[in-house]
Structure 1
Amino acid sequence: MSIALTDFARTRLFPRDGRRTAIQDCTPDAFIERLNAAPPLRVLDGYAPFCKLHVHANWTTTRCSMIAITEANRHLLRSAYEARSREELPVLVRWFEGIEPPVAQYLIPILYDRAQLAREGTAIDADWGVVGCLYTLDPEEIPMVPITQLRNALGVAEGGSGVALDRAAYLRSVAFWEQHANWR
Structure 2
Amino acid sequence: MDLSHFFTFIIAVVVIHPGLAVAAEKGNCQGAAGTRFHISDGLATDMKTGLIWQRCAVGMKFESGTCQGEAGVFSLKSAAAAAKSMEGAWRVPSGEELQTLLDRRICKGYAIDVRVFPDVPQVDNGEGAKYLTKTPFLPGMYYYFEFKEGYADMHTEGYGLTLRLVKGKARPGTMR
Q: TM-score, normalised by structure 1?
A: 0.26
Structure with higher helix content = 1
Q: TM-score, normalised by structure 2?
A: 0.27
Q: Which has the larger radius of gyration?
A: 1
